[in-house]
Amino acid sequence: MQSLRILLLIMSLFAAIESSIAQTPIDSLLRIVKNQKGEAQINTLNQISKAYFGKNPDSALYIATKALKLAEKENYDIGKVDAIRCIGVVKYIKGNIIEALQNYQEALKLAEEIGYKKGIADNCNNIGVIYASQKEYEKALEYYQKDLKIEQELENEEDVAFSMNNIGVTYLSLKQYDKALEYQNKALDIQKKINDPRGIAASYQNIGEVYQAQEKYEDAFKYLNLSLQAYEKIGEKLEILYPLLHLASLYQIKNQDTKAKEYALRVYALAKEIGASSEILEASTLLYEIFKKEKNFEQALLYNEIAAAYKDSLSFKDVQLKITQKENEYKYQEKVKDAKKQQELKQNSIYLLGIGFIMTLILLAIVYYFQQKGVEAQKIIKIQNQKIEDAYTELAQQNEQIKQQNFNLETYNKKLQQNQKILNKAIQSQKIHQEELRLRNVEILQQKEELQSHTENIEQLNTMKDKLFSIVSHDLRGPINSIKALLDLLQEGFVSPQEFDRFLPELNNNIQNTVILTDNLLFWAKNQLDGLHTDPESIDLKIIAENNITLFKNQAQRKQINIQNTIEQPLMAWADKNMVDLVVRNLVGNAIKFCSERGNIAIQAQIYENTHYRVSVKDDGVGIPATQQEKLFHSQGITTLGTHQEKGTGLGLLLCREFVEKNGGNIGVRSEMGQGSEFFFTLPKA
């Protein structure tokens, strides 16, 4: 949240300036300015510009520019200082830090030349904000302290309070939390004393940020909400952004993502409306983190791209480089001015020497006049001539020095321009290279993902092929061969019809198992090749349970197993009938498989969470080891012989999981060795 802290400084600054305007609505100021002329009109235009800072920065810039033109026309220096500074504040709000710094330096220099203390204080504060944004906090404190000293001399309690606000925010950046709270509380006391709503809101905001940095989240929530309420009463769109953004951050820290997203979206919308670049960056970065956590990758990608775009435009490294360049240009201009002053002084010296030369000629005339009066006069003339020659020699040397200085300045200026061109080309080349690398990386990642996807598909197809051949060659072929052998014995007369009747229950059992196996195999193969497609309808769970009990009646009687349907009334679920029927068939078949003789099986159903039914098949069989329970629904090929050595394929439970999930439900198992098992699944109510 570092960039937010910096913007709080500039907001507290122009909030202080607006204090004298807050009692006069903008509409009233606009009516007043129409009837004004000269300095009064310029002052009112600057007031209107300041009033528009938090409402409409574009309007503030237009009006400040108009005020500057009028001040230049009227030669009104105080009006110039205020107008240039207003332009700088708007440039800062819009993220144009370099242009803002130029405006502040120009305004500060003019204010110092005319002795305008209020202008000196305000621009010192602004320049302090620039240094703070570059993390040069000690230098920022130097300017803030100068600002505070002047405000105290002017005995303006409101501006003193806001200067303390800025110093407190800087100590917060330096992690000197005690000093930060000391200055913020002093400022708050003054603002409450003079009843300054905007100042109170700013201090609440700053104190809340200190508590957030100290991880005292309850105190942070308290003060940030107080700040938000105060700013909402004032109605400034820009100022409302800051407590909102901090509250969004706090809700994210507390894992209250819904509230965090609500506040962050509000910040983003307001920042877009008024063109606040830094806040758009902060809000979009926060929204990226929230949507990524929610696995809403489409929205996360959108806000990540927005954040990257604004981050590039506000790159601190580029800003620091440009600030250094501007400072060098400023120093160079000062050197040029000093050189010009020295040249003017030397020109004045030449003028004085010229006057001296004329006076010398007059003196020579006088001496000549008195030449006849003695040798002493001749000596005087000789001395004066020598002085004149010395003066000419010195003058020639000074002229050579001036020429050399001018040449050095021109050479330095050319080198500076050349270095600037080289630097601009290097920056442009670096940007192009970075973009090429980014595009190349994106292309490589896409190719890698496509290759990985093809590899996974091939591996899945190979696994399916091997599984299919294994099932057809062993599990499906075995029962069919047994049936064929029995029929061949009957046909060739080796088995009598009476003896064949004894084999009918076993034959029926083999056929039934083969049918179930074939259904599972067909559904599994279709799922692997085409994917699952459901055809949901309203189905009666009671009827499906009864049909499967009838289907397994003979198989259950062979092991003297009692199957009970406890679903006493129709229960209508919304699902694919064939899929649900296969799920129940597999679960009942498995229950019979692992029940001992004279065992019990119960099919049950009940309402689950008001929106679903919970269907279960419970047996008192051998149970399932805990180590295998987690693998039942996720691995192909896990199969165990039943209590009568019944075989399986390992596909049944895998299909059950896929079919249940495809119909909007979940499946699970509870089992204990020696006590039996309960398989259960959920389906939506019709």
pLDDT at residue 330, as a whole number: 46
Helix ranges, 492-531 (H): 497-530
Q: Percent of the chain scored above 90 by pLDDT?
A: 35
What would the two tokens of residue 274 be?
Answer: 């008024």
DSSP string, 315-369: -HHHHHHHHHHHHHHHHHHHHHHHHHHHHHHHHHHHHHHHHHHHHHHHHHHHHHH
47 close to 29: Cβ distance less than 8 angstroms: yes
Q: To 5 degrees, how large is the angle CA 420–CA 426–CA 432?
A: 140
For 311-352, write each residue's pLDDT tens digit.
766 554 454 444 444 444 445 455 555 656 666 666 665 666
pLDDT at residue 532, as a whole number: 66
**For residue 147, what are the contacts with CB-CB under 8 A and spacing of at least 6?**
121, 122, 124, 125, 128, 163, 166
User: What are residue 592's phi and psi, to 5 degrees?
Assistant: -65, -40
pLDDT at residue 655, as a whole number: 85
Profile the chain (686 residues) by mean pLDDT over runs of 10 residues. Answer: 48 46 68 88 90 84 93 93 94 87 94 93 92 88 92 89 91 92 93 90 92 91 91 82 90 90 91 83 90 87 85 55 47 55 61 66 65 56 64 65 75 77 78 80 82 73 55 55 70 75 70 69 62 85 94 88 93 94 92 91 94 95 86 67 58 87 94 92 94
pLDDT at residue 506, as a whole number: 66
| 3-state helix vs strand vs coil in the chain, percent to 5 | 75, 5, 15
CA atoms 422, 423, 426, 432: torsion sign:
negative
Site of tokens 């009334």: 569
pLDDT at residue 509, as a whole number: 65
pLDDT at residue 21, as a whole number: 47
For 349-381, write each residue's pLDDT tens digit.
566 666 766 776 776 666 566 556 555 545 665
pLDDT at residue 313, as a whole number: 62
What predicted TM-score, i.e. pTM, was given to this entire model? 0.42
For 415-468, write each residue's pLDDT tens digit.
778 778 887 777 887 788 778 778 877 887 888 888 887 777 667 656 655 555
What would the two tokens of residue 654 be?
Answer: 């895998």
For 588-616, write each residue's pLDDT tens digit.
989 998 898 999 999 999 999 999 999 99
Cα dihedral 536/539/542/545 (nearest 10): -40
What would the two tokens of residue 314 be?
Answer: 């506000």
